[in-house]
């Protein structure tokens, strides 16, 4: 009897002990994530008042009406969605062959080496990577120096401080995330599938197009959604590669808040950006976060 009682107590305390493990992080997330974002949502329903940060008990839809009735904000939203979509497609096209090569490299050391290259670039501060991009693509950058040296152009070719530059920067930013998502999925495709298609007489190209590519579809979808969410949220890339000339939502948020001190309207744009991004993330999670696990 005494033993049973002891076991019961131990079981009970272990059960409670388990919950204690997660309480600190839940508390942290509620206090510093849920409440602040909730407060931001509430503030977006406050009438605009320059310099006022705190939430007041006076609700209105003014900011949302303003957002949806001004063409430049609607266009910024459209531009953001368009930009993120284009970036997803281009990133996919560039990342797929890279992921394919990584997945098919069986030599352990070579495989690890390639993964280290991808992970290192992913973990490296984006500002540093953009510094490199700007040295390459700027008006006096390497590409323009080469073009001029070869006598191909008179003046500089505008490769950045425009939409194109932002796309290039965001693709560079998103590549590692897409690659890591795709590697796991491509690895999980049994090689026997493609071999079967080949043995039935399909050409390599046809076997790839009809078997391998469709089998990687889950990874293609989740990777694209992930890249969409990441690139629509980026401030640093449009700021530096677009030189503030490409007005996407994160740029507008910063301008409203830091330059005009219009917190309520800034909060409104922030809520709209948050919703677009969260929708993409929600679909991504629904599809089943396949391979990148906690890393991406």
Binding residues for another protein restricted to 8-27, rule: CB under 8 A: 10, 13-14, 17-19, 21-22, 24-25
Contact flag: residue 57 with another protein (CB under 8 A): no
Residue number, 24 or 155, with CB nearest to another protein: 24
Nearer to another protein, 71 or 151 (CB): 151
Q: Which is nearer to another protein, 68 or 131 (CB)?
A: 131
Q: Compute the least distance from the CB of residue 154 to another protein, in Å.
A: 18
Candidate ranges 68-76, 81-89, 102-110, 158-166; the one touching another protein (CB under 8 A): 102-110
In angstroms, rounded to a whole number, what is the distance separating the alpha carbons of residues 111 and 267?
Answer: 45
Compute how many other C-beta atoms are within 10 angstroms of the C-beta atom of residue 3.
7
Q: Which stretch binds another protein (CB under 8 A): 65-73, 81-89, 154-162, 230-238?
A: 230-238
Footprint on residues 249-268 left by another protein (CB under 8 A): 250, 253-254, 257-258, 263, 266-267
Cβ-based nearer residue to another protein, 71 or 106: 106
Q: Is 118 in the site for another protein (CB under 8 A)?
A: yes
Q: Contact between 283 and another protein (CB under 8 A)? A: no
Question: Are residues 264 and 43 in contact, defined by beta-carbon separation less than 8 angstroms?
Answer: yes
Shortest Å, Cβ 193 to another protein: 15
Contact between 146 and another protein per CB under 8 A: yes
Distance from C-alpha of 92 to C-alpha of 86, rounded to nearest angstrom: 10
Q: Which is nearer to another protein, 71 or 226 (CB)?
A: 226
Positions in 184-213 near another protein (CB under 8 A): 184, 187-188, 204, 208
In the block, tokens 């305390």 appear at 13
């Amino acid at each position: 009897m005494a033993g049973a009682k002891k076991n019961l107590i131990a079981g009970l305390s272990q059960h409670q002990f388990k919950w204690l493990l997660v309480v600190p992080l839940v508390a942290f997330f509620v206090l510093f994530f849920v409440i602040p974002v909730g407060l931001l949502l509430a503030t977006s329903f406050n009438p605009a008042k320059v310099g006022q940060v705190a939430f007041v008990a006076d609700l209105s839809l003014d900011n949302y009406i303003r957002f949806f009735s001004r063409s430049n904000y609607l266009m910024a939203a459209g531009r953001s969605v368009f930009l993120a979509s284009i970036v997803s497609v281009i990133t996919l096209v560039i990342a797929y062959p890279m992921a394919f090569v990584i997945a098919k490299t069986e030599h352990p050391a070579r495989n690890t080496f390639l993964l280290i290259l991808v992970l290192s670039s992913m973990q490296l501060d984006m500002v540093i990577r953009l510094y490199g991009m700007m040295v390459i693509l700027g008006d006096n950058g390497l590409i323009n120096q080469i073009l001029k040296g070869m006598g191909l152009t008179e003046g500089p070719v505008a490769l950045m401080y425009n939409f194109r530059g932002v796309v290039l920067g965001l693709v560079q930013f998103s590549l590692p995330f897409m690659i890591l998502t795709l590697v796991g999925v491509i690895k999980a495709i049994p090689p026997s599938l493609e071999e079967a298609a080949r043995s039935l007489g399909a050409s390599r190209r046809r076997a790839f197009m009809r078997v391998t590519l469709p089998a990687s579809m889950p990874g293609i979808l989740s990777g694209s959604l992930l890249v969409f969410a990441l690139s629509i949220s980026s401030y640093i890339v449009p700021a530096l590669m677009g030189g503030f000339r490409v007005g996407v939502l994160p740029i507008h948020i910063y301008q409203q808040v830091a330059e005009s001190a219009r917190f309520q309207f800034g909060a409104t744009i922030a809520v709209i950006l948050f919703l677009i991004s969260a929708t993409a993330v929600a679909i991504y999670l629904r599809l089943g976060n396949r391979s990148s696990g906690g890393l991406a």
